[in-house]
Structure 1
Amino acid sequence: MKASIESIDTRLPTVNTHIYPRGGLDVLSRTEVARLRDASAGGMHDLLRRCALAVLTSGSASDDPRAARELYPDFDIEVQQQDRGVRIDLRNAPAMAFVDGEIIHGVAELLFAAVRDLAYIAIELGEDAGRDLESSEGITDSVFGLLRNARLLRPADPNLVVCWGGHSISREEYVYTKQVGYELGLRGLDICTGCGPGAMKGPMKGATIAHAKQRRRNTRYIGITEPGIIAAESPNPIVNHLVIMPDIEKRLEAFVRLGHGIIVFPGGVGTAEEILYLLGILLREENAELPFPLVFTGPGTSAPYFEQIDRFIRLTLGDEATRRYQIITGDSAEVARRMTTGIRKVREHRIAQKDSFFFNWSVEIPEAFQRPFVPTHEAMAALDLHHGRKAHELAADLRRAFSGIVAGNVKEDGMRRIEERGPFEIHGDADIMQSLDALLRAFVEQRRMKIAGEYKPCYRVVA
């Protein structure tokens, strides 16, 4: 995995080189390579270029998906088919990904993962693949295939904790996420996050120290992302297993299928979307008896944040939803103890149900939570945010509302729609809209929408 340096531009921090992948990306078919090199409207080259640039700028503090391309406008990547394997050519690549002319080992692994996943998506989930992506079973099978292709499914005792939370959090909150990760690591638990900065990086960083203390090897720091997010939230340097899912819905399903418990740290609209997705699933009758440990936590100063989240959930989904989670603030050790106890129950349940430890087949996820939602102005205005609906149905539309705001904040397609037509309009019952507006305003005031710069809302709440 040694880079062969062809030239280094001393005027700009860029590198021209080619590298040879090993492990997990030894060979690609000619068809896969052709799709990755295809720069036409239906090709994958532009997507590959964006994802590769995000990986090569791993650790970036920006959450603007256009920032990296503006800094490195001449960057390009080409996958070359060779008789003995694959060669990746990089032109005008960010020098921050290299040390003394050689690409950083971890960065190279993430780059190979991006090529691997996009090749799989292009061929195995493409229009000509013949896969069933219309039924719930078919969509779940596609999620399984992506995770298996990424070599994330392994038969071992349940020990994977998914950590959700914002990329833009306070220093105190970030330190707390590290403390929780440390306590989890001491108890032999691995970490899975959305792979970005903030609350996605902190738990991994804390766990690395604990794993080293416990002399644990083969530890997993899994990052699950999707093409619309990765450019705004490039992988943090600790991620050692990266997988790029085709869309946000498959990304969310991957978290639920792969993880054995979930911890939610303070965050913004993306975190609210994740909470509503999971609660909507757990509130279904089919999942009523399913053990799934879910803890909301932050430092003591985050108590008001979670109180507001809790009030919003009670108003929209009812008191039943609040029974599916615990709120613990200011006690990282207790969070880890609760999670360890919960995962032990998950293990017992899966043994009793003869379900696998590495993929949660038992949880029922309906199509409403699986079908990709495209946040156009018309789709956002049509969301049914009114009382009188079943809790899981309202949760599905609330999740879409937050998903649309995420798109308007950090995804290029969503940002472009806002620039062309103005803010999305979100309609619903007066009390729901009032509570939603208060929650979103709090996110803005607490600077949870963007890492830097003044936030201009991409939405308008209409009662």
Structure 2
Amino acid sequence: MARNIEVIHPKTHLRVLSRYEIQQLKDFSAPTHELLRRCCYAVLSAGSQNDDYLDLESEFKDFNIEVAQEERGIVLNLTSPPESAFVDDEIIRGVREQLFSVLRDVLYAQDSIIKAHRYDLSRGEDISNAIFHLLRNAEVLKPDREANLVICWGGHSIPRHEYQYTKDVGYQLGLRSLDIGTGCGPGAMKGPMKGAAIGHAKQHICDGRYIGITEPGIIATEAPNPIVNELVILPDIEKRLEAFVRLAHGIVIFPGGPGTAEELLYLLGVLSHPANQNAPFPLVITGPAEAEPYLRDIDQFIGDTLGKEAQQRYEIIIDDAEAVARYMSQGTQKVRDYRSLIEDAFFFNWSLTIADDFQQPFDPTHDNMAELELSQSLPQHKLAANLRRAFSGIVAGNVKEKGIKRVQQHGPYQIRGDENILAGMDKLLSAMVAHGRMKIQGEYTPCYRIVNE
């Protein structure tokens, strides 16, 4: 059920905009306004369990947002916002703050990054600088905090027992005063935050951080969960992934679908760069006992494609939340020591080298997907980059507007490559489908086809 028109005033940040910025947002024909509309509706729909973009598109067809200037600052006029964002006719405070976080990030990315001449976004150094400035503008970078941010990756569509395990791990991390960052959505993104909130409460930690990092293409189907208290929207998936690894002091990976595989491949590709060989980066793949066969399948896929060296970059811990948290606590201490030694910042990992293949946006058209080179003759980091792109395309076909519409128009993406790589991909993707990791509800229709030639 939707409401009529609601007027929302900022309570914390972004009280003032220039006339130019407001005009940008008031122009209903401008791309910036449509981007803002979609992201704001996602925030207002927090808690939704619908990951079917076409359903969501029909739900928000009557929704609109208008930015208005008042003498004391700005207000948002919302037309037909979701009822769930309000309690007793008052917007939920956390939702209000996230609305203005969307406004902040969309405007800053468009005006100060994408359209600004100060950044050449074809150059890796400028991309990293742009990400730094986006995070700084969002006030996510905290120079006075210890190196204690654990990023948790995992699926938005997971069974109940796996969700409980993510909460257990989050609780143990919270007891050890570790903060949590995730992709901000439901499932394995929500569970660690919820568990950590209880752990922090038991330790009387009142300023625990639950950072949600997303991007416009995915926020509609993975709306911010209610635990997120710091939301930041990056312009695309590549910048989102780089933000994760430059902010992280350690990463925990839970069972998930193609998006989780994409994240793991991205990180292993980055860590395989010769310049990063000696940098401590605690990485754990974990899940409850029931998920062990699936996690072993992931490990086997990594071994068959990227080799034993890549497998040595992570630990697999099964059904032991305390062991995961101890490993992360000890690992973040090593990160602190290393960053102190090389005089790198705790709040942003400048010393990490990220190759161009992992920074340039990949557009998953049918031609681009079919032309991906998936061959073991490639250097390890090059193969990791192309595998990451393949899984990124599958994510787009599953949950992103452009990808879904492309698949509707042209049929499934075709994925080609070496026979053993394709066999491993097919096995892993089939396991994701069989365990319901592609979609929260309803029957899944594959957006891809493995082509053996």
TM-score (structure 1 length as normaliser): 0.96
Residue in 1 that maps onto 2:54: 66
- Among candidates 86, 94, 111, match of residue 98 of structure 1: 86
1:169-202 deviation per Cα after TM superposition (whole angstroms, max 9, x unaligned) = 0111000000000000000001000000000000
Matches within 5 A, 1:183-332: 183-332=172-321
SS of corresponding position for 1:356: coil
Query: Do the aligned partners of 1:408 and 1:418 also contact (CA within 8 Å) in 2?
Result: yes
RMSD over aligned CA atoms reads 1.1
Pair 1:175 & 2:176 matched: no
Task: Determine the C-alpha separation between the residues in 2 that align with 1:361 and 1:240.
Answer: 25
Residue in 2 that maps onto 1:112: 100
Task: Determine the C-alpha separation between the residues in 1 that align with 2:364 and 2:149.
Answer: 31
1:395-448 deviation per Cα after TM superposition (whole angstroms, max 9, x unaligned) = 000000000000000000000000010011111011111111111111001110
Residue in 1 that maps onto 2:438: 449
Deviates more, 1:73-82 or 1:200-209: 73-82
Amino acid at match of 2:53: P
Task: Determine the C-alpha separation between the residues in 1 that align with 2:340 and 2:393.
Answer: 39
Matches within 5 A, 1:143-162: 143-155=131-143, 156-162=145-151
After TM superposition, give the deviation of residue 23 of structure 1 in Å: 2.4
Amino acid at match of 1:285: P
Pair 1:338 & 2:335 matched: no
After TM superposition, give the deviation of residue 150 of structure 1 in Å: 0.5
- Among candidates 107, 110, 113, match of residue 125 of structure 1: 113
Amino acid at match of 1:443: M
After TM superposition, give the deviation of residue 129 of structure 1 in Å: 4.2
Task: Determine the C-alpha separation between the residues in 1 that align with 2:126 and 2:72.
Answer: 34
Deviates more, 1:66-75 or 1:24-33: 66-75
Residue in 2 that maps onto 1:137: 125
Pair 1:422 & 2:375 matched: no
Relative to structure 1, is the Cα distance of residues 323 and 50 closer, same or farther in structure 2, using a 3 angstrom cutoff?
same
Task: Determine the C-alpha separation between the residues in 2 that align with 1:388 and 1:339.
Answer: 35
1:287-328 deviation per Cα after TM superposition (whole angstroms, max 9, x unaligned) = 000000000000011111111001110111010001100000
After TM superposition, give the deviation of residue 32 of structure 1 in Å: 1.9
Task: Determine the C-alpha separation between the residues in 2 that align with 1:303 and 1:43.
Answer: 45
User: What is the total number of aligned residue pairs between the two structures?
Assistant: 451
After TM superposition, give the deviation of residue 96 of structure 1 in Å: 1.0
Query: Do the aligned partners of 1:199 and 1:265 also contact (CA within 8 Å) in 2?
Result: yes
SS of corresponding position for 1:456: coil
Amino acid at match of 2:257: G
Residue in 2 that maps onto 1:81: 69
Residue in 2 that maps onto 1:439: 428
SS of corresponding position for 2:80: strand
Query: Do the aligned partners of 1:226 and 1:251 also contact (CA within 8 Å) in 2?
Result: yes
Pair 1:462 & 2:448 matched: no
- Among candidates 401, 404, 411, match of residue 412 of structure 1: 401
Task: Determine the C-alpha separation between the residues in 1 that align with 2:71 and 2:427.
Answer: 60
1:52-92 deviation per Cα after TM superposition (whole angstroms, max 9, x unaligned) = 11100100011122333423431110111334211111111
After TM superposition, give the deviation of residue 358 of structure 1 in Å: 0.4
After TM superposition, give the deviation of residue 238 of structure 1 in Å: 0.5
- Among candidates 36, 39, 46, match of residue 48 of structure 1: 36
SS of corresponding position for 2:114: coil
SS of corresponding position for 2:376: coil
Residue in 2 that maps onto 1:5: none
Residue in 1 that maps onto 2:379: 390
Task: Determine the C-alpha separation between the residues in 2 that align with 1:377 and 1:24.
Answer: 42
After TM superposition, give the deviation of residue 279 of structure 1 in Å: 0.1
Amino acid at match of 2:169: V
In structure 2, list runs of 5 or more residues that go unmatched: none
Task: Determine the C-alpha separation between the residues in 2 that align with 1:128 and 1:192.
Answer: 29
1:215-248 deviation per Cα after TM superposition (whole angstroms, max 9, x unaligned) = 1011110000000100010110000100010000
Q: Percent identity?
A: 57
Relative to structure 1, is the Cα distance of residues 275 and 198 closer, same or farther in structure 2, using a 3 angstrom cutoff?
same
Task: Determine the C-alpha separation between the residues in 2 that align with 1:47 and 1:87.
Answer: 18
In structure 1, list runs of 5 or more residues that go unmatched: 1-11
Task: Determine the C-alpha separation between the residues in 2 that align with 1:37 and 1:225.
Answer: 24
After TM superposition, give the deviation of residue 45 of structure 1 in Å: 1.1
Relative to structure 1, is the Cα distance of residues 35 and 122 closer, same or farther in structure 2, using a 3 angstrom cutoff?
farther
After TM superposition, which residue ranges in structure 1, 4 or more long, deviate above 4 angstroms? none
Task: Determine the C-alpha separation between the residues in 2 that align with 1:110 and 1:354.
Answer: 34
Task: Determine the C-alpha separation between the residues in 2 that align with 1:405 and 1:300.
Answer: 27
